[in-house]
Amino acid sequence: MAHAIIGGTFDPIHRGHVECAVELRQRLGFSRLDLVPCHLPAHRDSPDSSASHRLVMARLATAGIAGVGVDDRELRREGPSYTADTLAELREALGRNTSLTFVMGGDAFNTLQHWARWKSLFEFANVVVMERDGVTCQPAAEVMAYTEPRRVDAETITAQSSGGFARIALRPWPQSATEVRRRLQAGEPLGDWLPEAVLDYIREHRLYL
């Protein structure tokens, strides 16, 4: 068994999020990949939508996708959401020998040195950085020095339970939650940027207006 998680505000979740999750699971061989909506992000502004709305939208977006789901543990905790706490909980639940991988974006990786107990992430899990067009990975020197000796091919990351580091280039996708919110507020067309069920939910509850 190989488990993976991707954190984020998912405010709102869009097709880019879903496509990344599906591609990562297929290419890296995760038996399960969960999206983990955060309660209060420690390093960015608070989400526009409530935790309950973001959770429902994430579940709607992933419904029926094999091996991809939503983990609500950060929404059930009070205060800021720290990835180290989440991975510690998951490691305890999964046991020592199950492969666990935390997937993060290149922009987040560039600020990893500011995360709470960032080195402990590798004690609990492997770390994979998603590289995509428009985001240059330029981590701090201390992060580079710590991660490069742990580097393996992304396709083999599930061979170890924790401690590995990899980067992977994914298919480009144009969506961003910031642009989705702007278009919703402006009444501009979204094309197929949002899963239909998510767009219906947003309209029903008049979110992002």
Give the closest residue to 41 by CA, choosing from 33, 32, 51, 31.
Answer: 51
Contact between 110 and 148 (Cβ < 8 Å): no
Q: How confident is the model at residue 174 (pLDDT cuts 50, 70, 90)?
A: confident
Residue 168: per-residue pLDDT: 96
Strand partners, 99: 2
- Whether the pLDDT of residue 165 is over 90: the answer is yes
Average pLDDT, integer, range 100-106? 96
Integer Cα distance of 206 and 73 in angstroms? 26
SS3 113: helix
CA distance between the termini of the chain: 42
Residue 156: per-residue pLDDT: 97
Contact between 100 and 162 (Cβ < 8 Å): yes
Integer Cα distance of 192 and 170 in angstroms? 19
SS3 83: helix
Residue 136: per-residue pLDDT: 78
List of long-range contacts for 92-95, beta carbons under 8 Å, 24+ apart: 94/1, 94/3
Give residues with Cβ within 8 angstroms of 196, minimum separation 6: none
Residue 65: per-residue pLDDT: 97
| pLDDT tens for each residue of 31-41 | 999 999 998 87
Integer Cα distance of 69 and 36 in angstroms? 9
Higher pLDDT: 160 or 172? It is: 160
- Whether the pLDDT of residue 177 is over 70: the answer is yes
Residue 41: per-residue pLDDT: 74
Q: What is the CATH number of the domain that holds 103?
A: 3.40.50.620
Residue 48: per-residue pLDDT: 86
SS3 43: coil
| pLDDT tens for each residue of 56-93 | 999 999 999 999 999 999 999 888 889 999 999 999 99
The alpha helices in the chain, defined as continuous H runs, are 15-28, 51-62, 83-94, 106-109, 121-124, 141-147, 177-186, 196-205
Residue 119: per-residue pLDDT: 98
Contact between 7 and 74 (Cβ < 8 Å): yes
| Domain encompassing residue 93 | 2-205
Report how many domains make up the chain.
Answer: 1
Give 3-state DSSP helix, strand, coil % of the chain, rounded to 5. Answer: 40, 20, 40
Determine which of 13-17, 134-138, 146-150, 153-157 has the lowest per-residue pLDDT on average: 134-138
SS3 74: coil
Q: What is the mean pLDDT of the chain?
A: 94
Integer Cα distance of 18 and 13 in angstroms? 8
Q: How confident is the model at residue 44 (pLDDT cuts 50, 70, 90)?
A: low
Q: How confident is the model at residue 29 (pLDDT cuts 50, 70, 90)?
A: very high
Q: How confident is the model at residue 109 (pLDDT cuts 50, 70, 90)?
A: very high
